Amino acid sequence: MKRDIDLDLKQRAQQVLPNGVYGHESTLLLPETYPQFFSKAEGAYLWDADGNKYLDFMCAYGPNLLGYADPRVNEVAIAQLAKGDAMTGPSPAMVELAETMTDMVSHADWAMFCKNGTDATTMAKTIARAQTGKRIILVAAGAYHGAAPWCTPMPAGVIDEDRAYIQTYDYNSVESLEAAVKTAGDDLAGIFATPFKHDAFTDQALPDPAYAKRARELCDQTGAMLIVDDIRAGFRLARDCSWELIGVRPDLSTWGKSFANGLPISALLGSDRAREGAAAIYATGSFWFSAVPMVAALKTLQILRESDYLEHMLALGTQLRGGLQDAAASTGIGFRQTGPVQMPLFLFDEDPDFRVGFAWSEAMLRRGIYVHPWHNMFLCQAMTEADIAQTIAAAREAFVEVKDNRAALEPHPVVAAMFSAMAAE
Amino acid sequence: MKRDIDLDLKQRAQQVLPNGVYGHESTLLLPETYPQFFSKAEGAYLWDADGNKYLDFMCAYGPNLLGYADPRVNEVAIAQLAKGDAMTGPSPAMVELAETMTDMVSHADWAMFCKNGTDATTMAKTIARAQTGKRIILVAAGAYHGAAPWCTPMPAGVIDEDRAYIQTYDYNSVESLEAAVKTAGDDLAGIFATPFKHDAFTDQALPDPAYAKRARELCDQTGAMLIVDDIRAGFRLARDCSWELIGVRPDLSTWGKSFANGLPISALLGSDRAREGAAAIYATGSFWFSAVPMVAALKTLQILRESDYLEHMLALGTQLRGGLQDAAASTGIGFRQTGPVQMPLFLFDEDPDFRVGFAWSEAMLRRGIYVHPWHNMFLCQAMTEADIAQTIAAAREAFVEVKDNRAALEPHPVVAAMFSAMAAE
């Protein structure tokens, strides 16, 4: 693989970005050969700055749901760009989009649109407090709900007060949730839950319906708001809020990433139970009313309703899971696939510092498949059975390669430093 | 003016948005005849949902700097949309944009890109704390720095801890700033300042250089970070940080709204004095690495460097200020224009509940000129001398109309309720 342009860009980035590329798209915690910069994306494929092509199982960490640069979505976006994007007020598309999303999402009576997932989760927290007049917010330990000071996973620059009244429980544990609610006493404002456990660096877990139902009951009993953070999973598991699959309706749900197929928009949806609190808070942003992402969302949601995108991704995900399981088993390597098939995470047994996973991912990358060694991945509508078959064939070779080289593998220096820093805390 | 479509959309919005349109583009605190929804924007003009056309002095509350739907910017945005927008990593444009902005902005050694102005101000606060290991952040009383719980002007859902260690001083007062710094003792992390005083509902004020220089000195003495919040004014006053005009360089500056001419992107720029803190924090967003707004920013900034956009806006702003002053004087009405000429605010003497300003603004709206009765406005490059002459002619008629009807004017019910609620606090 050619790497000259990417390495040069990384050097330049070190000068003019504080630590190179920051945030979730930094390759600092990825195998050394992973490219940082990309020059093109189309359908299920991605080209790095040097022109190397990959079948991309990250889908921009979620936004690519139909396929990159989907012409159906881009056509309406381009037409709207000529008519008006950021204006002195919203376009009629804002009302149409709120009507569409409240129609599609069973629990929702109203919508607010914003830009980042963190905007939506922060508004949900604020609305829960405004609606209830209480302060304590429960979140599952280790869950990611954004990168503002109240929720960012890295504590630099965060003061204790930023996390005041944010308390934790263990995902999927009825007992732990009940204990946290009891501790909150009469000051419980809201309970956050991701639709399934999709924390980084660890096996994913589907939601235990007993836990989800108990969260709903506890909110009903205390008056607290139940908040499903569907930013990462929204519309990849269902054409509705993801917890409709287990029959539990939240008061608030947060959405982002994919519902405009990559155009920048996120949303907070709520039921009438939270409407008064939502009407009371003040939150806004320079581009929250822009028309282009709203018409892109209307078109994307129409395609979701009218196509078999979900059944197609489920079929491909099932094909992938079975094929990888067989390939790993035939090599005798301990390989775990967790989470919904359309949002898989791959981890290796007896791999505490991820050296096996990193080596396997690099072996996949060399074969033109972009997989992630510790973050959940994403399928998209543009993928085909042939793409999955190619992935399985590459994986088979990569499993053998890793097994043969296992004794020679070294841990990733930055990841190893991070884990030893965490262990020292 | 036709209003049927707008009124219908507002009714529909009441159902599916918590309180109709929320945030800074809500017309709740504007004259009753102001349209809420817009269907088209081109150059300096805006069309509401009913097709009424306005010369727009709000410029989308800032983003429209060159002219709506500028074909030079939209052309590169559309080309990039086909190549890739949100991808699994940034495009090379991210590095080019960081290089360009650190070249243009004298104090800046590095850049971080985000989506909302609030993202940039929140990162600035967090970086000031990470860099200094201290907690207290000084902001000017009444200044707007965004809509997260730590800074939103409306307190619903905000708890005391959200504002912990946020303390205030009076803008332009050396004495007040020194007293606040003294109170902060050895716990001062940073001082925020807007480049000029552009608070809503009150006269604007240019910065007193003695105040700005003292802020710099106090930061040098204490190790605190000086933060200029240039989100609203950036690149409308200078082709550099706005405080270059008075010779004061901050450690951090926040940017947004206009530097991609309406495409969604904001930025935090910093000097090497703040680099370590910036490298330590974790902040990110789903669309922060998207390529389309970055190429739009590169093209916009090129136009800013190569055109006379700034001198043109200054000339038009001067023409407007003189013309309105003459028109108001000839009517004998007390009319105040404050702030830089390219970002004016208009208020009326003896108008404590804004009824005169509201009536005059409505009279302008009926004449096809969209002005704001209590928020600063914005000129753009697409405006012409003829546009300004038309505005002055309309204003002359509107001054007469308001003077003749003054005795019959009523206060705006929502604004009156807001002021009496504030007075009761």
pLDDT in tens, A236-257: 999 999 999 999 999 999 999 9
Q: Is B361 on the interface with A (CB under 8 A)?
A: no
The answer to which of B109-113, B360-364, B411-415 has the lowest mean pLDDT is B411-415
A164: closest chain B residue by CA:
B161
In the prediction, which pLDDT does A418 show?
Answer: 81
pLDDT band at B425 (very low <50, low <70, confident <90, very high): low
State the pLDDT at residue A425: 65
Contacts with A58 from chain B: Cβ below 8 Å: 88
pLDDT of residue B413: 86
Least CA distance to A127: which residue of chain B?
A: B157
Closest approach of A403 to chain B, Cα-based (Å):
28
Q: Mean of the per-residue pLDDT values for chain A? A: 97
Residue in B24, B78, B289 closest to A284 by CB = B24
Contacts of A153 in chain B (CB under 8 A): 282
pLDDT in tens, B270-313: 999 999 999 999 999 999 999 999 999 999 999 999 999 999 99
Q: Mind listing the pLDDT tens digit for each residue in A253-288?
A: 999 999 999 999 999 999 999 999 999 999 999 999
Q: Do A116 and B112 touch (CB under 8 A)?
A: no
Contact A148 B41 (CB under 8 A): no
- The answer for A 299-358 residues in CB contact with B (under 8 A) is none
Q: Could you tell me the pTM of the whole model?
A: 0.98
Contact list in B for residue A40 (CB cut-off 8 A) is: 83-84
Does B414 have pLDDT greater than 90?
A: no
Residue A423, pLDDT above cutoff 80: no
Per-residue pLDDT band for A189 (boundaries 50, 70, 90) equals very high
A102-113 average pLDDT score? 98
Q: Which domains does chain B have, with CATH numbers?
A: 4-61+308-424 (3.90.1150.10), 71-306 (3.40.640.10)
Query: Which chain B residue has the Cα nearest residue A122?
Result: B148
Residues of A in contact with B164 (CB under 8 A): 159, 161, 164
* pLDDT given for residue B62 in this prediction: 98
Amino acid at position A315, single letter? A
Q: Note whether B256 and A286 are within 8 A (CB).
A: yes
Question: How much of chain A exceeds pLDDT 70, in percent?
Answer: 100
Note whether A285 contacts B116, CB cutoff 8 Å.
Answer: yes
Average pLDDT of the segment spanning B365-394 = 98
- Residue B285 with chain A: CB contacts under 8 Å: 23, 115-118, 147
Q: Which has the higher per-residue pLDDT, A178 or A411?
A: A178
The per-residue pLDDT for range B66-109, each reduced to its tens digit, is: 999 999 999 999 999 999 999 999 999 999 999 999 999 999 99
**pLDDT > 70 in chain B, percent:** 100
Q: What is the pLDDT of residue A166?
A: 98
pLDDT (0 to 100) of residue A258: 97
> What pLDDT does B415 receive?
84
A112 in reach of chain B (CB within 8 A) = yes
How does pLDDT run across B30-44, given as a tens digit for each residue?
A: 999 999 999 999 999
Beta strands in A201-328 (DSSP E): 225-229, 252-255, 266-270
pLDDT for the residue numbered A422: 76
Confidence class of residue A416 from pLDDT cuts 50, 70 and 90?
A: confident
Q: What distance in Å separates the CA atoms of residue A3 and residue A49, rounded to the nearest whole number?
A: 8
**Per-residue pLDDT band at B199 (split at 50, 70, 90):** very high
Query: Nearest chain B Cα to A10, which residue?
Result: B95
Banded pLDDT at A362 (limits 50, 70, 90) = very high
Comparing CB atoms, the residue among A42, A98, A280 nearest residue B17 is: A98
CB-based contact (8 Å) between A167 and chain B? no
